[in-house]
Amino acid sequence: MSSEFIKNFFRKETTYTAIKVAVFITPVLTLINEYDVMVNGEFDKKFFMKLFLTFLVPYCVSAYSCAKTYSSKN
The residue range of the domain holding 54 is: 3-73
The conformational region for residue 43 under phi > 0 = left, psi -120 to 50 = alpha, else beta, is: beta
Please tell me the total count of domains within the chain.
Answer: 1
Distance CA 38, CA 46 (A): 12
3-state secondary structure of 33: helix
Distance CA 60, CA 52 (A): 12
Distance CA 23, CA 35 (A): 18
**Residues of the chain predicted below pLDDT 70:** 1, 74
Global pTM reads: 0.86
Distance CA 51, CA 30 (A): 7
**Residue 48's pLDDT is what?**
96
